[in-house]
Amino acid sequence: MRHSQEQQPAADPAYAALEPVLHRHGHQAHGLIEVLNSAQQHYGHLSEPLLRHIARRLHLPFSRVQGTASFYHLFRFSPAATHSCLVCTGTACHVLGAARLLAELQQAPLAELGVELGTVRCIGTCSGAPLVEVDGEVWNHQSGASVLQRLRELQR
Ligand code: FES
């Protein structure tokens, strides 16, 4: 069913950047994937209010819009991490506690700090073990607590 302009829910000015793609698809369900793509490009991630807005503008149930977005791995539902923290799991770092360091960081609320956690094999500066590499900078002789403190300082 095609909806006329008079039947369209009011456009939310907060999401005005989506109007061209919504209009191009005549506010029809077949445009959902392209609208989701455009939404992610403009707003960085698909928040629940944004998904609800898309559902309203395409006359679709929220569950269908959320389900479709969840199906595809290319869509993200929270802001992209702004920092990367890689724990070295090479032999020297392992011997000096990398596993414990990694476990402590896995328990920490890193997503709230905008930090994406990962691991890396020996980066060749073993005298600093155990170490992490944060945004390309090497932090030597670290513990879970010391990494967390420094990550929090990055927020300031
Ligand atoms: S094992 Fe970690 S830097 Fe070499």
Parent domain of 91: 83-154
Q: Are 103 and 145 in the same domain? A: yes
pLDDT score for 156: 77
Residue with tokens 């923290």: 85
pLDDT score for 71: 95
Residue with tokens 């993200």: 76
The DSSP string of 74-103 is: T--SSPPPSEEEEEE-SHHHHHTTHHHHHH
pLDDT score for 7: 59
Q: Are 64 and 93 in the same domain? A: no
Q: Are 59 and 87 in the same domain? A: no
Q: Are 102 and 65 in the same domain? A: no
C-alpha 121 to ligand 1 mean position (Å)? 7
Per run of 10 residues, the mean pLDDT along the chain (length 156 residues) is: 52 86 90 95 93 96 97 88 93 97 95 90 96 96 96 88
In sequence order, the 6+-apart residues with CB closer than 8 A to the CB of 116 are 81, 83, 84, 85, 110
Q: Are 42 and 22 in the same domain? A: yes
State which ligand 1 atom lies nearest to the alpha carbon of 90: 1
pLDDT score for 9: 63
87 lines ligand 1 (CB under 6 A): no
- CATH number of the domain residue 102 falls in: 3.40.30.10
Domain end position, chosen among 40, 71, 102: 71
Q: Are 38 and 90 in the same domain? A: no
Neighbours of 145 (CB within 10 A): 11
88 lines ligand 1 (CB under 6 A): yes
129 lines ligand 1 (CB under 6 A): yes
- The number of distinct structural domains making up the chain is 2
